[in-house]
Structure 1
Amino acid sequence: MEKRANNLTKGIKNIILSTLIIPLFLFSTQGIAQETNFEEGKQYILGGLTVTGLQSYNEQTVKSYTGLRVGQPIKVPGDEISAVIKKLWNLDLFSNVEMFYTNIEDDKIFLELSITERPTLNNVTVYGVKKRKVEDIIDDTDLKKGKKITESLIANTKNYLQNKYKKQGFLNAKVNIATTADTTGTNVQNMVINVNKGDKVKIKDINFVGNEKLSDKRLKKSLKNTKKKKFYRFWKKSKYIEADFEEDLDNLIDTYAERGYRDARVLSDTFVKLDEKNIELTIKVEEGDKYYFGDIDFVGNSVYTDRMLSQVLGIKKGDTYNGVLLKERIADDSDPDAADLTNLYQNNGYLFSSINPVEVSAVNDTIDFEIRIIEGKETFLDHVTVSGNDKTNDHVIYREIRTRPGQKYSKSNIVRTIRELGQLGFFDAEQIVPDIQNPDPNAGTVDVNYSLVESGSSQIELQGGFGGGGFIGTLGLSFSNFSLKNIFNKEAYRPVPMGDGQTFALRLQASRTFRVYSLNFSEPWLGGKKPVRFNMSLSRTQQFATGFDQNGRLDVQKDRGFSITGITAGLAKRVQWPDDYFTISHSLGYQYYKFDDYDLGLFNFGNGSSNSLTYTFGISRSSQGPSRIFPMTGSNFELTAKFTPPYSLFGNKDFKSLRDRRKELTDISLERALTTQEANEIREIEKERFRWLEFYKVKFKGDWYTNIVDKLVLRTNAEFGFLGSYNNDIGDVPFERFYVGGDGLGNFSLDGRDVVQLRGYENSSLAFSVYNPIRQRAQQEGGVIYNKYSMELRYPLTLKPSASIYVQTFLEAGNAFNNFQDLNPFELKRSAGAGLRIFMPAFGLLGIDFGYGFDADNVRPNAGPSGWQTHFIIGQQF
């Protein structure tokens, strides 16, 4: 049968014009035009539709998508055919779409839809970038397997990559993209992307034209992110990045505005390409005249007087005009706690207030302002809700929230709430979002919802290693969002009862020579109505005597040893004065020391016992935040005083005679070995001195956190400690001392010592050697006084809930002293170094520090500088 056809459209570009009348071309299968009975613009009945050119699509699917049905009236050419072609083009699945008629029988017309499918993407290969960056490029450009390859896809991918690298300072970046057929599939192609970033283009020089009032140096300093190339500059790079440069031009205008030149503007900015690696920037400015503040009038205020608003504004008539300062005093967007006019109103219930400074007069060099205030209606909180807490019970959150239904709206209370919720440690502090909902200016009400993201609040410690003559194993479990009331509820174990904000910690450590057990429980809201924290801890430590058998192997004698059993209970209450960041704490503790045929050397007696009953009073203030893991602002201070009763003041024992006799025996031991009777006499004297320990201990620690720029934080620290005695005849107790130096980890401490971190020195190396008359040798003993200072620069690599990682550099100095006579606060052991911290909710804090000690330690004072030391941090406080 002779085939007659008409081409209804040609080419991809022209299909957009498919709504126009498309000419029909008649041809035969031999290519010779013949007359037909086709009449242009006549209405026919669709007799049939075939689809040709298909490779991967089903013919019936394409027919269905056209919407054409056999038997329907259709005008050729007409709107129906134009709409079908346009519809198929918009799918972006075909590179060519054409419609032909193949036959006409009476009033029936038979059509053929000819399409060319676009190739499908299979593999993508990227050259010129690091392998670890390839996946990011594929994700960013959406080059997924199975995606249709179009001209726009290739062009958009090329433009995206070139712009991406230009933004990073590679102004000469070039990207070439090619596709090749893949014979493993039908109509499948592979894509090859060649990236040539070229060299980073640096700024060799920055020139200013038109500046007379401000120097080139001052203007260059205002360009925060655009810097001239210098060999010593490593913190701020000298790459040319267009977005940063545009931001810096705004900073340049702000620099003028801060100095009174409100009309200053940038007339032009150009750069000249010197070579492939260097450019030169030229910035032409017009400075204008210098202005001063004139009269500043407040309009519309009724809540606050002009005088009060003027005090907050802090700008007086005659001051040099400073547009940046004026904006900050109206509303400082960079600081949510800023003392500005907007916060003055919003912290006192006026959410719907608006404050706008308006220039009303500019005569000569003086500008008069009106601060126009619309106070709005006083606003109250209607509903306060939380969301996202899947594990933590609502009451644990609501008791920390500073906003209550019915209260006046206060922005400062919302900011404080964010800090308090972040300090709990149950939520990701970076994702706590206060959502202001349903604001109603007419009714003066608003709702607040705190959106939370739960983070891990349980930790497990499982360690193993060799030391002290054998294997040491440690198992620790810490649940910081525990629920004691559900401990007998089987359904609440996921894996343990959680959600009530309590802390439960269990730690076991053991080897052949010692065992340590500890149990701790705390309830932050005792009774559930007030922020009174209750804490109780139990501990048991055992140290066994050791020796060596005839074969040189370690012999552990478990019937001989030394143990400490202790219990402590305490209460800590958050108070309102001087402000509600303060906490006052009280605790009582008792420790029982037992010696069984074991001369530890601490007390100089091998059998017997000693007791310690202590009361500890503490005052602390904690305003650090928003996260307890990586604080960026605020401070933390803690002052504690620990006391025992002064037993010797109430007894009639002659401790002076005991002291004199002990000194006499010690002097004898320097000349000869003590007899058994003399050694036993010293032991009995020691038993009497330390049957009940009496001492007082004062400690202070302060941390300040300063956000310098972005998330770069400076932590400044100062510490001090003193251990004293009531009775000089008894002297200082050998327990409770300060051991300075090293990583600061005191995982195994028998004697209640304070282990103080000072990196760059070996652990406890800033202690002292004291002569033991019984053993007739020196033994290490901690100091009774210490001071320490440190500065850390911290920067986070990531603060995600799964893992928070930050790097730091530090400077530290500190020392320990035997008595007040030896105390010299300027005789410090100095160090410097860098480190890394990783916090994972399941394992706690992990880290490593490399510190260099510039001075000799106290154990080896003549050995020269301590030098480089490596410290591993596990579970230390933040």
Structure 2
Amino acid sequence: MRFVGNTVYTEDQLKRVLSIEKGDTYNGKLLQERILNKKNPDANDITNLYQNNGYLFSNVNAVETRTHNDTIDFDIRIIEGPLAYINSVNVIGNDKTNDHVIYRELRTRPGDKWSKENVIRTIRELGQLGFFDPEALQPDIKPNQADGTVDIEYKVVEKGASQVELQGGYGGGSFIGTLGLSFNNFSVRNMFNKKAYKPLPMGDGQRMALRAQFSKYYQTYSLSFTEPWLGGKKPLAFSASISHSKQFLYNWYTYDVDKSQSFNITSISFGLAKRLSVPDDYFVLSQAVSYQYFDLNNYNTGLFTFGDGQANNLSYTISLSRNSKGFNPIFPTYGSEFTVSGKFTPPYSLFEKTNYKTLGDEEKYKRRTVANTTTPNGSYVPAGTYLDASGNPVEGNDYRLAAVDQGKIDQKRFKMLEYYKLKFKGDWYTSLTKIGDQPLVLRSLAEFGFLGAYNSARGIVPFERFYLGGDGLANFTMDGREIVQLRGYENYALTPVNQNGEQIGGTIYNKFTLELRYPITLKQSASIYALAFAEAGTSYASFKDYNPFNLKRSTGLGLRVFMPMFGLLGIDFAYGFDEAPGRTQPSGWQTHFIIGQQF
């Protein structure tokens, strides 16, 4: 192969991009893709090498010059043309969204050198906003070769950016209702402008969500707000949220509620997320500070090791993510998303004088009686007798209490929660082929989580644990737990249990998913796609028991429907091949309904 007409790039540079050497087996399809890959607009090919660096008018073709025996010779003929600069940039079609919300996302500006990559990135950024129909985003490129300029016009079609969640059902002897409002293109500055209510002040790209859920034994309320461009100058996102939940002791057999036994949680958090420029501007560094106050009042259910008292959870979370998923957030066809995060509390035990190894020993021993006394039932007890917690004599020389109030000890141990949590998630999307006009997409997902303790004597907290299995939906979580989806099993069924068969949550888990997706329609009114999946995962109560290869497996089929007004709805039919902890039979067929789950 010979390169003809190249002056901007050397032959060695072009050969590295082409990656086809003399003596390789001829593959016409591969040769064409290395010159111009029509399936992948972001491909590393020779045409994009020129198009991404100002050469809008360039043209690259492979011409067969000679065939002899089993050998073919080619000329890669290149017409570079002049550099092109952007003359004007316009956006049309936005009636609700304010211009500044769109223009701050544009990667193409007047005076810039032409870059196909920046045009594609702009389409992606506009599609990721969620305010426009991603399938209808069209850049109109108007080149003017006479003066070496180009005009760009982006055509957008707005869609409903707000969602309503309204659910009602009856189960376990109680009506359960949910009301949620999500405004994804809100305008705080126009809240007091009566003319802006159409029916709500919209157009500034802010997000506000309100949610309430209630039944006769629990209530939860939350409010969250996000400003994606704090100050309006740079992509620095500010977020804040506050929530409160209350649960009463509920008898699942008689359906009685005891309001004298309750558990309350109040939470507040603030976060900042900054888009980075190094290694590239797909990276985002996020940081958040959160505080949770747990108040238990005679709430002895086995959920925690103590039923009375308070616990405080002050934590700092930092995460680094890279999101290059395709322009349609509902149905990405290429790209990936990686997230590594750590959540940390202050190491209180480093600054305290408490010896957690002997914590509670003072409650395990009682002094001898110094005078003659009587037991609670009136029996005579001489001086010098050891008594247990109930005031009854302890026989023999063992003066340890027969029953220790472990709840009181743990309440002291966990008054200020101390832990660290590490997580990783990798999500890939690959277009395999086309069936008709639509792509068949493979989604590959891997997850890992670990909850640890700074001080082994203090132990791992009973909060913030991982609960694996089921549809991944969380109606209400009372202990900061994280719900991890693994279809084909009942909700939380793959979560470790204690000696009494009670779920205690995992401190470590891993999960893998392969999912084939095919779109039925991607129209603005409704996006519908079918999927087939295989999943596997495992979780353990402690790291010493962890076996990442002893996985619980499942496979199945599903359907997803996304409507702008109501969000995501879906159903999965899955078969679990393995038995859950405490069970002796495979899980078998399970049906999962998905509401508001991630795409």
Same fold (TM over 0.5): yes
More relative contact order in 1 or in 2 (CA 8 Å, sep 6+)? Answer: 2
Maintained 8 Å contact 2:441/2:516: yes
Matched, 1:426 2:131: yes
Q: Distance in 1 between matches of 2:363 and 2:286?
A: 39
Q: CA deviation at 1:663?
A: 9.9
Alignment match of 1:579 (pick from 280, 286, 291): 280
- Cα deviations across residues 686-738 of structure 1 (Å, max 9, x unaligned)? 22111101011111111111111121111111111111111112111111111
Q: Distance in 1 between matches of 2:522 and 2:504?
A: 41
SS at match of 1:327: helix
Maintained 8 Å contact 1:623/1:635: yes
Residue correspondence of structure 1 range 466-865 to structure 2 within 5 A: 466-546=170-250, 554-658=255-359, 681-710=405-434, 711-771=439-499, 778-858=501-581, 860-862=582-584, 864-865=585-586
1:209 corresponds to: none
Matched, 1:337 2:42: yes
Maintained 8 Å contact 1:456/1:801: no
SS at match of 1:739: strand
Maintained 8 Å contact 1:562/1:600: no
**TM-aligned CA distance change 1:877 to 1:675, over 3 Å:** farther
1:377 corresponds to: 82
Q: Distance in 1 between matches of 2:135 and 2:109?
A: 23
Matched, 1:436 2:144: no
Q: Distance in 1 between matches of 2:355 and 2:498?
A: 25
Maintained 8 Å contact 2:172/2:255: no
Q: CA deviation at 1:659?
A: 6.3
Maintained 8 Å contact 1:457/1:479: yes
Task: Give the number of equivalent residue pairs.
Answer: 564
**TM-aligned CA distance change 1:877 to 1:319, over 3 Å:** closer
1:395 corresponds to: 100
Q: CA deviation at 1:334?
A: 2.5
The amino acid that maps onto 1:724 is G
- Cα deviations across residues 240-289 of structure 1 (Å, max 9, x unaligned)? xxxxxxxxxxxxxxxxxxxxxxxxxxxxxxxxxxxxxxxxxxxxxxxxxx
Q: Distance in 2 between matches of 1:313 and 1:721?
A: 41
Maintained 8 Å contact 1:509/1:517: yes
**TM-aligned CA distance change 1:520 to 1:375, over 3 Å:** same
SS at match of 1:307: helix
SS at match of 1:609: strand
1:60 corresponds to: none
Maintained 8 Å contact 2:363/2:404: no
Maintained 8 Å contact 2:537/2:552: yes
Q: CA deviation at 1:442?
A: 2.3
The two structures have a TM-score, normalised by structure 1, of: 0.62
Alignment match of 1:869 (pick from 568, 590, 595): 590
- Cα deviations across residues 128-160 of structure 1 (Å, max 9, x unaligned)? xxxxxxxxxxxxxxxxxxxxxxxxxxxxxxxxx
Q: Distance in 2 between matches of 1:574 and 1:358?
A: 44
Q: CA deviation at 1:314?
A: 3.2
Q: CA deviation at 1:794?
A: 0.8
- Cα deviations across residues 393-429 of structure 1 (Å, max 9, x unaligned)? 1111111111111111011111111111111111111
**TM-aligned CA distance change 1:803 to 1:544, over 3 Å:** same
Q: Distance in 2 between matches of 1:639 and 1:586?
A: 12
**TM-aligned CA distance change 1:524 to 1:810, over 3 Å:** same
**TM-aligned CA distance change 1:740 to 1:320, over 3 Å:** closer
- Cα deviations across residues 444-465 of structure 1 (Å, max 9, x unaligned)? 1001111111122111011111
Unaligned runs of 5+ in 1: 1-294, 666-673, 772-776
Maintained 8 Å contact 1:436/1:448: yes
Q: CA deviation at 1:321?
A: 4.6
SS at match of 1:403: coil
Unaligned runs of 5+ in 2: 367-387, 392-400
Q: Distance in 1 between matches of 2:171 and 2:296?
A: 23
- Cα deviations across residues 372-396 of structure 1 (Å, max 9, x unaligned)? 3322221000111111112111111
**TM-aligned CA distance change 1:684 to 1:362, over 3 Å:** closer
Q: CA deviation at 1:361?
A: 5.1
The amino acid that maps onto 1:789 is F
- Cα deviations across residues 597-640 of structure 1 (Å, max 9, x unaligned)? 33243444333211110000101111111211111111111111
**TM-aligned CA distance change 1:321 to 1:513, over 3 Å:** closer
Q: Distance in 2 between matches of 1:502 and 1:767?
A: 37
The amino acid that maps onto 2:420 is Y
The amino acid that maps onto 2:345 is T
Q: CA deviation at 1:545?
A: 2.8
1:140 corresponds to: none
SS at match of 2:213: strand
Root-mean-square deviation (Å): 2.3
Q: CA deviation at 1:468?
A: 3.9
The amino acid that maps onto 2:150 is V
Q: Distance in 2 between matches of 1:326 and 1:722?
A: 46
Residue correspondence of structure 1 range 106-185 to structure 2 within 5 A: none
SS at match of 1:615: strand
- Cα deviations across residues 761-786 of structure 1 (Å, max 9, x unaligned)? 11011123325xxxxx5532111111
The two structures have a TM-score, normalised by structure 2, of: 0.90
Q: Which of 371-380 and 717-726 deviates more?
A: 371-380
SS at match of 2:359: helix
The amino acid that maps onto 1:298 is V
Q: CA deviation at 1:532?
A: 1.0
Maintained 8 Å contact 1:659/1:730: no
**TM-aligned CA distance change 1:297 to 1:583, over 3 Å:** closer
Highest CA radius of gyration, 1 or 2? 1
Maintained 8 Å contact 2:468/2:492: yes
Q: Distance in 2 between matches of 1:595 and 1:528?
A: 43
2:7 corresponds to: 302
SS at match of 1:591: strand
**TM-aligned CA distance change 1:454 to 1:363, over 3 Å:** same
Higher helix share: 1
Q: Distance in 1 between matches of 2:288 and 2:365?
A: 40
Alignment match of 1:408 (pick from 113, 134, 140): 113
Maintained 8 Å contact 1:376/1:441: no
Maintained 8 Å contact 1:693/1:733: yes
Q: CA deviation at 1:538?
A: 0.3
SS at match of 2:594: strand
- Cα deviations across residues 155-195 of structure 1 (Å, max 9, x unaligned)? xxxxxxxxxxxxxxxxxxxxxxxxxxxxxxxxxxxxxxxxx
- Cα deviations across residues 643-694 of structure 1 (Å, max 9, x unaligned)? 11111111111211126789999xxxxxxxx966877843321221111010
Q: CA deviation at 1:828?
A: 0.9
Maintained 8 Å contact 1:603/1:686: no
**TM-aligned CA distance change 1:712 to 1:592, over 3 Å:** same
Matched, 1:463 2:186: no
Maintained 8 Å contact 2:210/2:222: yes
The amino acid that maps onto 2:422 is V
**TM-aligned CA distance change 1:728 to 1:362, over 3 Å:** closer
SS at match of 2:121: helix
